[in-house]
A = this chain, B = another copy of it.
Amino acid sequence: MQKLNVMERLNKVIRRTNSRVVAGLDPVLSEIPDCEEYRKLTDRGVLMETYCHDYIKAIAGIVPAIKINSAFFEAEGLTLEYFEVAEMAAKAGMIVIGDLKRADIGSTSGAYAKAYLKADSPFSIITVNPYFGTDGVMPFIELANQNEKGVFVLVKTSNQSSIEIQDLILRDQRKVHEAVADMVKHWGNISNPTEDGYNNVGAVVGATHPDDARRLRQRMPNTFFLVPGYGAQGATAEDVVVNFDKNGLGAIVNSSRGLMNAYKHPRWKDQFSEENWAEATTAEAKRMTEEINKALHIL
């Protein structure tokens, strides 16, 4: 029996949960909700893991995937906890995306790949930066292939300044990010060809630029999209529709602060106290799931 590649596995979990949401986890110790349980914890690592565990519990079974951002663990000097938290999420049945944005020359990318994509890594997919080109990206893709894992390569990011380099116009009329898209498509085709469906080389395509996303969806039909920018960064459910295929698959929409801080949002703050922040996160994960499904006309 041929195994499903990681992006097809992701589609399968999307169908099972009927959710196209990836819950982002960007934990900042000083901003963890003021709860009685947390106040008792004096060890920073334990506090971090306890909070993240509660977040995972709040979203498990509701959303298909979690994206865990390495920067926020590195900022606290808690990189061992980064792996512990990823293990928790994997055990909870989610597809775990390591948001790492790494890349370097080949030999160094090989070391980064080893760190996050080896067979027993809790991460199924990691984010990768394309600036070095093929030899900086292939070590990630090769190890991902070997271990039934995948990558999301940055194509068009969700931040405002993404226009500065990514939207520069080339002599051949393509934008730089379209040239990157063509490379990502090529990397997927050569390393992990699929006649239909998705290969294991995905793309990061920001929800904040729906016109670009529409063009990119047509340009790279076998490429799974990780879509950041919904919620706190300003994009709506209507904006993200263009990232999906005709079956409402092939993309997953991230919300980090919108889910972590749901209890502070006007929508929920009368209903949930800070102490009950995790319940607000659950409610928001369900609401966001339904909102995106509705925009896609999926019941």
Contact = CB atoms under 8 A, between A and B. Distances in A.
A299 interface: no
B165 A168 contact: no
A111 interface: yes
A165 to B, nearest CB: 5
Given A101-B129, A179-B168, A136 B111 contact: no
Contact of A157 (B72, B107, B132): B132
Contacts of A142: none
Interface in A67-108: 69, 71-72, 74-75, 77, 79-80, 83, 99, 101-108
- Can you tell how many copies of this chain the complex includes? 2
Contacts of A159: 105-106, 132-133, 135-136
A78 to B, nearest CB: 10
A112 interface: yes
Interface residues of A, number: 56
Contacts of A99: 104, 108
A1 interface: no
Contact of A75 (B71, B72, B114, B169): B114
Given A75-B111, A104-B101, A115-B75, A132 B171 contact: no
Interface in A97-151: 99, 101-109, 111-112, 114-116, 129-136
Contacts of A133: 159, 161-166
A180 B165 CA distance: 7
A158 interface: yes
Given A74-B79, A133-B161, A165-B176, 17 more contacts: A26-B107, A71-B112, A72-B108, A74-B115, A74-B116, A75-B114, A77-B80, A99-B108, A105-B157, A131-B165, A131-B166, A135-B160, A136-B159, A165-B179, A168-B176, A168-B179, A171-B171
28 contacts: A69-B108, A71-B102, A71-B108, A71-B109, A71-B111, A72-B111, A75-B111, A79-B80, A80-B80, A99-B104, A105-B157, A105-B158, A105-B159, A106-B159, A129-B131, A130-B165, A131-B131, A133-B159, A133-B161, A134-B164, A135-B161, A136-B157, A165-B180, A168-B176, A168-B179, A169-B170, A169-B171, A176-B176
